[in-house]
């Protein structure tokens, strides 16, 4: 019983805080209404390929699952900018062994029929296997060379 009262009190306090926070936010948002219309445009800009970006088709029509192109040559320390285009299904652009200067794996997801930008900077020379995780068994693989 005691515990329940505390929970209710905490919940009420939290809700009051929320109301206060929302109230303030709503007032700020009321003035620049056009900003709301501008938001999707920003998303579209993010989807725009960077200058000099390489377009990669993640093809999946007629049960042919391939990267197009499927062989890449990049340079150590040079930023790679790719535009990944899914033909119709969910794909990934995965090179788990390729190390980047950010210390991350190269693993991008592309939603069905969508386009995704991928940028990374390879930090180590080598030849790396590229795979699409859901379609690796179907031959959706490639090679990334870093020189």
> Where on the chain is the footprint of Cu ion (CB under 5 A)?
91, 132, 135, 140
CB 59 → Cu ion: shortest distance, Å? 9
Closest approach, Cβ 23 to Cu ion, in A, equals: 47
Q: Which CB sits closer to Cu ion, 85 or 135?
A: 135
Ranges of H-type helices in the chain? 2-30, 34-47
Of 147, 145, 89, 81, the closest CA to residue 119 belongs to 81
If the CB atoms of residues 1 and 95 are measured against Cu ion, the closer one turns out to be: 95
Q: In the complex with Cu ion, which residue's Cβ is closer, 109 or 121? A: 109
Q: Is 112 helix (H, G, I), strand (E, B) or coil?
A: coil
Residue 118 or 132: which CB sits closer to Cu ion?
Answer: 132
Classify burial at 71, counting beta carbons within 10 Å of its beta carbon; exposed 0-12, middle 13-18, buried 19 or more: exposed
Which lies closer to Cu ion via its Cβ, residue 13 or residue 111? Answer: 111
Element (H, E) at 109: strand 106-110
Q: Taking the complex as a whole, how short is the minimal distance between the CB of residue 143 and Cu ion, in angstroms?
A: 16
Closest CA to 132 of 103, 112, 102, 104: 112
User: Cβ 136 to Cu ion, closest distance in Å?
Assistant: 8
Of the candidates 75, 77, 87, which has an alpha carbon nearest to the alpha carbon of residue 135? 87
φ, ψ (nearest 5 deg) of residue 94 = -120, 125
Instruction: Tell me how far, at minimum, the Cβ of 38 lies from Cu ion, in Å.
Output: 34
């Amino acid at each position: 019983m005691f515990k329940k009262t505390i929970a209710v009190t905490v919940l009420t306090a939290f809700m009051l805080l929320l109301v206060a926070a929302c109230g303030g936010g709503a007032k700020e948002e009321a003035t620049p209404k056009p900003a709301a219309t501008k938001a999707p445009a920003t998303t579209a800009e993010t989807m725009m390929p960077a200058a000099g970006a390489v377009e990669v088709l993640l093809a999946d029509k007629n049960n042919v699952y391939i990267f197009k192109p499927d062989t890449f040559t990049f340079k150590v320390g040079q930023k790679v900018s790719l535009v990944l285009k899914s033909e119709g299904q969910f794909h990934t652009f995965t090179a788990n062994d390729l190390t980047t200067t950010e210390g991350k794996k190269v693993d991008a997801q592309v939603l069905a029929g969508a386009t995704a930008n991928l940028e990374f900077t390879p930090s180590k020379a080598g030849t790396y296997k590229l795979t699409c995780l859901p379609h690796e068994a179907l031959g959706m693989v490639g090679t990334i060379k870093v020189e």
